[in-house]
Structure 1
Amino acid sequence: MLYLIGLGLGDAKDITVKGLEVVRRCSRVYLEAYTSVLTVGKEALEEFYGRELILADREDVEQEADSILKDADSSDVAFLVVGDPFGATTHSDLVLRATQLGIPYRLIHNASILNAVGCCGLQVTLPRMCFFVVLTRNVLPFYRLRGDFILVHEL
């Protein structure tokens, strides 16, 4: 079984109880180390989880996914992600590869950057929709200031 486990946004103790239980029983535990900033060191996570973590960089996940998925059909393998597991498309690709190989998977969600929006004084529910703005050209400061003036916020 492949487990994709969200670690939340803070320290080692932000992992869910369910996530921690899974980490402690897995044969291998990978720590994704490139799509988000880890606020604590790998050693702090290893100490709290009681497990050795294998760092997985972009190349490991995108080019060497087979090594992560190796034996996941017969033993439990965990893939830890800062925030929530589906915060990056690479993690979706890992699930698709597992599915193609007949490897079952489970998700254990956690807080992500969208949950932290309230700390900035913004609300995801206003104006009843959440938008992601993808800039396709350089934005001049005038447009940014005008947007701030009319209370348009970007994440």
Structure 2
Amino acid sequence: MAIYFIGLGLYDEKDITLKGLKIARKCDLVFAEFYTSLLAGTDIGKIEEQIGKPIRLLNREDVELNFERIVLSEAKTKDVAFLTAGDPMVATTHADLRIRAKQMGIESYVIHAPSIYSAVAITGLQIYKFGKSATV
């Protein structure tokens, strides 16, 4: 049993990676939050249709204060997807949630997606102009 942090990309329900879609479809439960960022070109119904499962939408309080009770308690016995706009590890909130999962002994996986950092190139600007960058 595990939690999967799945990025949805930048605009609509079609931006999710094939890997993210496959994993979301196999998970027992699907949660999402859109307060850190949202997908302007879609709505929750279209994402549910794409995945083929209902999605429980979480608000800020659910995520920041009640994540252990609402989501991680389920991930102890089920495979759980947690969907976010962009890439899930760009927001420090989501990185903190992954740390909480580890502290509770819950396996976690990250399925990356295009993020705001990917979108910068469309403007003609270079990511290096926004601060330090490194290749790992």
Confirm or deny a common fold (TM above 0.5): yes
Q: Equivalences for 1:101-116 in 2 at 5 Å?
A: 101-116=104-119
Q: Which has the higher helix share?
A: 2
User: Which amino acid in 2 is paired with 1:33?
Assistant: F
Percent of residue pairs bearing the same amino acid type: 47
In structure 1, the residue matched to 2:123 is: 120
Consecutive unaligned residues in structure 2, runs of 5 or more? none
CA shift, 1:56, in A, is 1.0
Most deviating of 67-76 and 50-59: 67-76
Normalising by structure 2, report the TM-score. 0.89
**Which secondary structure does the structure 1 equivalent of 2:119 belong to?**
helix
Asked which structure has the greater CA Rg, the reply is 1
In structure 2, the residue matched to 1:68 is: 71
Q: Which structure would you say has the larger RCO, counting Cα contacts within 8 Å and 6 or more residues apart?
A: 2
Consecutive unaligned residues in structure 1, runs of 5 or more? 133-155
In structure 2, the residue matched to 1:24 is: 25
In structure 2, the residue matched to 1:52 is: 54
Normalising by structure 1, report the TM-score. 0.79
Q: How many residues align?
A: 129
CA shift, 1:38, in A, is 2.0
**Which secondary structure does the structure 1 equivalent of 2:74 belong to?**
coil
Corresponding position: 1:98 with 2:108: no
What RMSD, in angstroms, separates the aligned Cα atoms of the two structures?
1.4
In structure 2, the residue matched to 1:84 is: 87
Runs of at least 4 residues off by over 3 Å: none
